Amino acid sequence: MRNGFLLALAFLAALAAPGARAETFPEGDVFTPLVADPIETRNFLSVLGLDSESLQTTVGSVGLGANFGLYRWPGQQPGDGWQVSLFAAINSQFDLEGTSYPLLNTDFRVGIPVSFRNGPWSGRARLFHQSSHLGDEFILQGNAPQRVNLSVEIVDFVLAWERGGWRPYAGAGYIFHSEPSGLKSGGVQLGIDYIGTARAFLGGRLVGGIDYKSFEETDWRAGVSAKIGLQYGRPYPDRRGLTVLLEAFDGPAPFGQFYRDTVNYYGVALQFDL
């Protein structure tokens, strides 16, 4: 995997040479983030009522992430084009009912997305690494699941079509290296987003989405995430503001060390769109 990232970075360095109509370090992305995907790169705080095979508690979930544009080749229409970026994200969950609010799990992701937009069509392909870690205090309490030295390299893609604020999408993913070795590789993703433009309650714009994922490693069990809420601040493509969301999930956990558990949760989230 290290050699793969070095080759990818060498490719990106080659792109840094001046090119016709190309833009270095563009703001934002030509691909709008998926509303309901639990592991989308974003900044958020959420409080969730969680019920799993190994844990029933109230969870505080925190995400910090950034997608940094390196190079963009604009298309013929405003907002269209191709873009190469780097992204990094940290997602952590804390037990809000435990003594000293122990850390349960942290997932680290870093990778290279390539995205495009052409009229109503948009898409994204990513090469990324993820490692997942159990919290020390949670382990010492004696009720943590068996720790897994979980580290994976994944390539995935998603293709979307947008009209009137609605955006159905479909994609797939493949684990090409894993620790522990032998993890099954395939995965599929489907979903639909809605991003409104009209002002609704207190001037917010209605947003929502449903995301479906299924992985070979968890016997193709469905993981369904749903979110709905109000978005305040500047709209896309120059997005900056706050989104207030209700969210729910059912299926194999999107928290790395708990990936073998079936969980369901519901709660409220504040998302900080930069």
- Which has the minimum average pLDDT: 7-21, 25-39, 80-94, 249-263? 7-21
Cα–Cα distance for residue pair 173/153, rounded to 1 Å:
11
> For the segment 121-139, what is each residue's pLDDT rounded down to a tens digit?
999 999 999 999 998 887 7
Per the DSSP assignment, residues forming a β-bridge with 187 are 173, 215
CB atoms within 10 A of CB 199: 12
Asked whether the predicted pLDDT for residue 19 surpasses 70, the reply is no
Residue 181 has phi, psi (to 5 degrees) of: -70, 160
Cα–Cα distance for residue pair 271/242, rounded to 1 Å:
6
Q: Which two tokens stand for residue 13?
A: 């360095």
In the chain, the percentage of residues whose pLDDT exceeds 70 is 91
Count structural domains, the chain.
Answer: 1
pLDDT level of residue 188 (50, 70, 90 thresholds): very high
pLDDT recorded at residue 250: 97
Three-state secondary structure call for residue 215: strand
Asked whether the predicted pLDDT for residue 235 surpasses 90, the reply is no
Cα–Cα distance for residue pair 238/66, rounded to 1 Å:
15
Domain range for 137 is 2-273
Asked whether the predicted pLDDT for residue 18 surpasses 70, the reply is no
pLDDT level of residue 234 (50, 70, 90 thresholds): confident
Residue 99 one-letter amino acid: T
pLDDT recorded at residue 16: 45
Cα–Cα distance for residue pair 5/176, rounded to 1 Å:
13
CB 174 within 8 A of CB 126: no
Helices (H), the chain: 2-15, 136-141
pLDDT recorded at residue 2: 52
Distances (CA, A) of 187 to 172, 190, 212, 242, 263: 6, 11, 11, 31, 18
Residue 181 one-letter amino acid: S
CATH number reported for the structural domain that contains residue 108 in this entry: 2.40.230.10
pLDDT recorded at residue 165: 94
- Which has the minimum average pLDDT: 80-94, 112-126, 197-211, 213-227? 197-211
pLDDT recorded at residue 4: 53
pLDDT recorded at residue 97: 93
CB 244 within 8 A of CB 230: yes
Most distant CA atoms of the chain, gap in Å = 60
Asked whether the predicted pLDDT for residue 13 surpasses 70, the reply is no
Cα–Cα distance for residue pair 258/47, rounded to 1 Å:
18
pLDDT recorded at residue 191: 98
Asked whether the predicted pLDDT for residue 224 surpasses 60, the reply is yes
Average pLDDT of 211-215? 97
Q: Which two tokens stand for residue 165?
A: 């604020």
> For the segment 54-89, what is each residue's pLDDT rounded down to a tens digit?
889 999 999 999 999 999 999 989 889 999 999 999
CB 255 within 8 A of CB 30: no
Q: Mean pLDDT across the chain, nearest whole number?
A: 90
